[in-house]
Amino acid sequence: MRRYILQRLVLLLPILLGVTLISFLLITLAPGDFLTTMSLNPSVSSDRIAKMRSEFGLDKPWYVQYGFWLYRLSPYEFPFGVKWPDLGYSFSNRMPVITLLGERFWNTLILSSTAAILIWVLAIPIGVFLVARSNTWIDWFTSGFLFLGISFPQILLSLLALLFAARTGWFPIGGMNRFDAEMMPFWNRFGDFLHHLALPAAVLAFTEIAVLVRYARGSMMDTMSAEFVRTARAKGVSEKDVIGKHVLRNSINPLLTLFGLTFANLLSASFLVEIVMGWPGLGRLAYDAMLSQDLYVLMASLTAGAVLLVAGNLIADILLALFDPRIRYE
């Protein structure tokens, strides 16, 4: 198993390199940069712009800039030293990118993790409930509603949630805390944070709940027709125990392999939800950096998102190898 995980980690490196290379190329192909916008300010001299362009290497070809960016990001220091990885400097925020990225990275992780908890806490019980009432109007109605949920675009759902929050006033719009949160007692501040988190997490989880419920229902319905289930019923085991002790236990393993993929999908979707709903995470940071053409912030945001995405896929592969005997480690 250890060898399998190491192999998967080694295979992830070319993927991350490819993502950063293509991202860097596309960003530098766009006309102008942050210094071009800055040069429009009459209070900034052309000599200062030229000096900054030379200092940050922006006057060199894109592949040389990418090589310098990779070198700064690596822990290797020429010729035989070791250094802390450097993500560069944010032109628009005037601070090191690592400082800017640290808080936003955790905000995205909190939002995605909360949505993942909501999905697994709600989807499995709903799946069991539908199996227990299979081929009834409740099953048909809920399945139709779930199909509608899968078909709903995430951006439209986010906009509707914002409209709902604005009309009812039940949820705050944007941000993580009230402006006076620093003056509140700890538990009040924590409750205010959960209040701000609830709506974005619910929007992010909605589609994945519908997907996982359909998977759970389908997996358990397949298991319901197995020989051991018919044997249990023939022995007089109650329907509640048949579903809870036999069907659910034998259906849960394939669902566990979806955990990593669910997390990876949530990270991708969280970028859109953050931008629309004003959650200060990596997606919002990348969007602002793209508008201001802040090269290093945009590259750091995309790289952090790619790392989280491949980490989710790695978890999915490991879970699949652990719980599916058809997957070989070698």
| Better-predicted residue by pLDDT, 258 or 195 | 195
| Model pLDDT, residue 304 | 82
Q: Which two tokens stand for residue 70?
A: 């990779």
The mean per-residue pLDDT over the stretch 226-244 comes to 83
CB contact at 8 A, 206 and 270: no
The mean per-residue pLDDT over the stretch 36-63 comes to 82
* pLDDT band for position 21 (cuts 50, 70, 90): very high
Instruction: For the chain, give the mean pLDDT.
Output: 83
Residue 90 in 3-state DSSP? strand
| Model pLDDT, residue 325 | 60
* pLDDT band for position 329 (cuts 50, 70, 90): low
Neighbours of 91 (CB within 10 A): 21
| Model pLDDT, residue 197 | 92
CB contact at 8 A, 112 and 269: no
Whose structure tokens read 């102008």?
A: 32
| Better-predicted residue by pLDDT, 246 or 259 | 246
Burial of residue 46 (number of CB atoms within 10 Å: 0-12, 13-18, 19+): exposed
Whose structure tokens read 């709902």?
A: 164
| pLDDT tens column, 109-167 | 899 889 989 988 898 888 888 888 888 888 888 888 887 877 878 888 889 998 999 89
Burial 12-32 (b: 16+ CB within 10 A, else e): beeeeeebbeebbeebeeeee
Looking at mean pLDDT, say which of 111-115, 240-244, 265-269, 303-307 comes out highest. Answer: 111-115
Residue 94 has pLDDT above 70, yes or no: yes
DSSP annotation of 172 reads -
With helix as H, strand as E and coil as C, how does 50-74 read? HHHHHHCCCCCCHHHHHHHHHHHHC
The mean per-residue pLDDT over the stretch 222-234 comes to 83
* pLDDT band for position 327 (cuts 50, 70, 90): low
| Model pLDDT, residue 198 | 92
CB contact at 8 A, 285 and 297: yes
Sign for the CA dihedral angle at 277, 281, 283, 285 comes to: positive
Residue 137 in 3-state DSSP? helix
Q: What single letter denotes the amino acid at residue 326?
A: R
